[in-house]
Structure formats: C-alpha cells, structure tokens
C-alpha cells in the first residue's frame, strides 16, 4: 500500500516535482532524561531509499529529528478528560515544532542541487508518507482512547 501512497503523492505534484517521502516514528524504548524532564526521540527515514539502506545503521539509516516530552501521569488527574486533552495538545505542539521546517516546502516545494554539480536542480516536495505510532502513542495523540484507560 505504500506504493499506492507514493504514486498518489507523485501524481499530485507538478511535472518537474520529485517527492521526498519521509517515514517518521517515535521510539519510546529509547527514553532519555534531561534533568527532571523525560522525552523520547522522533526518528525519520527516507522512504525513497531501498529498505536495506533506510533501515540500516549507515548513511541512509534513520536520524533523530526531535524529542517528544513525556507528561507524567499524576493521580489527581487520573481518568480526567481535560488531562488527556492536555497531553494530546503537548504531543501535537511538539510534533508541529518538529515538522515546522518542511510545512511550507511540502506545499510549494524546494529547489535543491543534486550531488552532480552539472545536473539541473531538483524541485522536491517533502511529504510524510508514514507516521508510525504504537498503541500508547496513539492514546496520547488521540485522547478518546486515553480517557478512562
């Protein structure tokens, strides 16, 4: 089905447009602490690359592009819909900040020079092809699931 998504994205671009398809996921298993604050990394991979390269440890592998904060659960807020909404808002704001650098470029594109200096510049359009989240992260980003859980 990712092939279909890629095709749909490419079909919506101008004739000279080239899709840059990102695969993004948050890895809560790599939890880190910054003083009294905890967060986990958001990893990006380039969907245009073959799987063995984008899933590798080398140059084409995933890269950390930001950190999502962990809002601690507090007993006084347990089963409160406003707290689920608050945690969702924090998650969405953090993701908005992380993705802000490509927001406009995803609509208008960006001109980049390919590695071959003699080649014509490419008109690239970054897009999020896959945003992968485990169940717990889905609960944070969509509070209807988190409420009463």
pLDDT on residue 140: 63
Whether 148 maps to a domain, the answer reads no
Number of other residues whose CB lies within 10 A of the CB of residue 47: 21
**Full-model pTM:** 0.78
Residues of the domain holding 46: 2-141
pLDDT on residue 46: 92
Residue 147 contacts residue 86 (beta carbons within 8 Å): no
Provide the residue-wise pLDDT of the chain in tens; the chain has 149 residues: 567 888 888 899 999 999 999 999 887 767 777 777 778 889 999 988 888 888 888 778 889 999 888 888 889 998 888 988 898 899 889 989 999 999 999 999 999 999 898 999 999 999 998 888 776 666 666 554 444 43
Whether 27 maps to a domain, the answer reads yes
For residue 102, how far is the Cα from the chain centroid?
11
Whether 102 maps to a domain, the answer reads yes
Whether 30 maps to a domain, the answer reads yes
Question: For the chain, how many structural domains are there in total?
Answer: 1
Whether 146 maps to a domain, the answer reads no
Whether 147 maps to a domain, the answer reads no
Whether 21 maps to a domain, the answer reads yes
């Amino acid at each position: 089905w990712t092939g279909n998504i890629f095709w749909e994205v490419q079909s919506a671009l101008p004739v000279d447009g080239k899709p840059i398809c990102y695969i993004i996921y948050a890895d809560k298993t790599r939890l880190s602490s910054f003083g009294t604050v905890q967060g986990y990394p958001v990893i990006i991979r380039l969907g245009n690359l073959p799987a063995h390269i984008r899933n590798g440890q080398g140059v084409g592998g995933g890269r950390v592009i930001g950190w999502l904060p962990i809002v601690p659960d507090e007993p006084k807020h347990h089963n409160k819909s406003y707290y689920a909404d608050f945690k969702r808002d924090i998650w969405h704001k953090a993701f908005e900040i992380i993705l802000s650098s490509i927001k406009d470029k995803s609509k208008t594109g960006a001109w980049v020079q390919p590695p071959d200096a003699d080649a014509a510049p490419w008109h690239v359009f970054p897009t999020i092809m896959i945003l992968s989240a485990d169940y717990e992260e889905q609960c944070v980003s969509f509070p209807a699931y988190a409420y009463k859980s």
